[in-house]
Amino acid sequence: MVAFKDVLEANALINDGNAPQVAVFAGGTAGLGKLTIKALVSTGVSVRIYLVGRKSAEERMKAFINELRAINPKADAIWTEGDISLLQDTKRICEIIKSKESRVDLLFLSAGYAPFKGRELTSEGLEVTQVLEYYSRMLFILHLLPLLKTSESSKVISILAGGMERASMDVEDLNLEKPGNFGGAKAQGHFAHMNTIFMDRLASEHKDVTFVHSWPAWVNTGNAARSTDPNTLAGWLFWLIVEPLVWLIGMKDEVAAQRYLFLSTSSAFGGSGVPWSGKAGVNTSEQTGKGLFLVSAWNNASSNAKNIAALREQAQEKVWDKTQEVLRPFL
């Protein structure tokens, strides 16, 4: 674990010369995305942030943007409305950003929730949580890669369950469509494996971009309520047990905000960014240079080398091909 005092000392070194100048947050309307945005803006740096969210969040997000402007007039937060559970809308959002920017320094992907309600299909015929936690994230990356590669210190962060991968996964039903093959915990673990394996391939092909798959531990993001129907037994159990438990033992907002600001800016992961004199993180290739880093909420980086090697051999090609098949119409 990186000591919190060391995180704070590193974050105190953030300035206009080493902070991201252009950042995109998909999932920044709540939870870790929103916390990290506020922490970044509060450093006082000049930064332009594209804050992506659904129409239903627009009013409260505009109030949040006004709050950010009061904290730091040098920061420019741009509300970018869109439903990223739809790949066509994700493509539209990316086209807007590409039309306005020549570089992206930070792409922060944190949308999603645990799918304890069972399979719910979007109008595009895909399961909604798989789109939020995997397909739309990879579509953001593929669309914005040219802008990320223009930056000298770009970083992509996807938050789900990095570092918790097992040595095998279901490669015969990658969209979990077979009867009885979809469930809350199983689905999230499956989507997490897909995140890691696809980004590991991207990292091997785009060595000038740093990729991070992070496990956030327990943080009160509000997504527990979205995971279940409040009028069911499961909904009541979440309200009575899970949410109080997260509040009691979970990471506090300010701690999470500073740790994810550190993850977003520190040279500990990939070698570029805010100076770091501590131990450098090791990527999935067991190196300290750019690549894919599997990082916990406490800023530990684990290569998970044995399991990642097994997944590369067993699953990577199939995950790559399936993802390209699904995303091709939206590229």
Q: What are the structural domains of the chain?
A: 4-223+254-330 (3.40.50.720)
Describe the strand order of the beta sheet including 106-109 as a list of residue ranges: 75-81, 47-53, 22-26, 106-109, 155-159, 210-215, 292-296, 301-302
Q: Give 43-87 pLDDT, tens digit per residue.
A: 999 999 999 999 999 999 999 999 999 999 999 999 999 999 999
Q: How far apart are CA 154 and CA 200, in angstroms?
A: 16
Position 238 scores a pLDDT of 53
pLDDT, averaged across the chain: 93
Q: Give 313-327 pLDDT, tens digit per residue.
A: 999 999 999 999 999
CB 303 within 8 A of CB 285: yes
**Which tops the pLDDT comparison, 301 or 246?**
301
Position 330 scores a pLDDT of 98
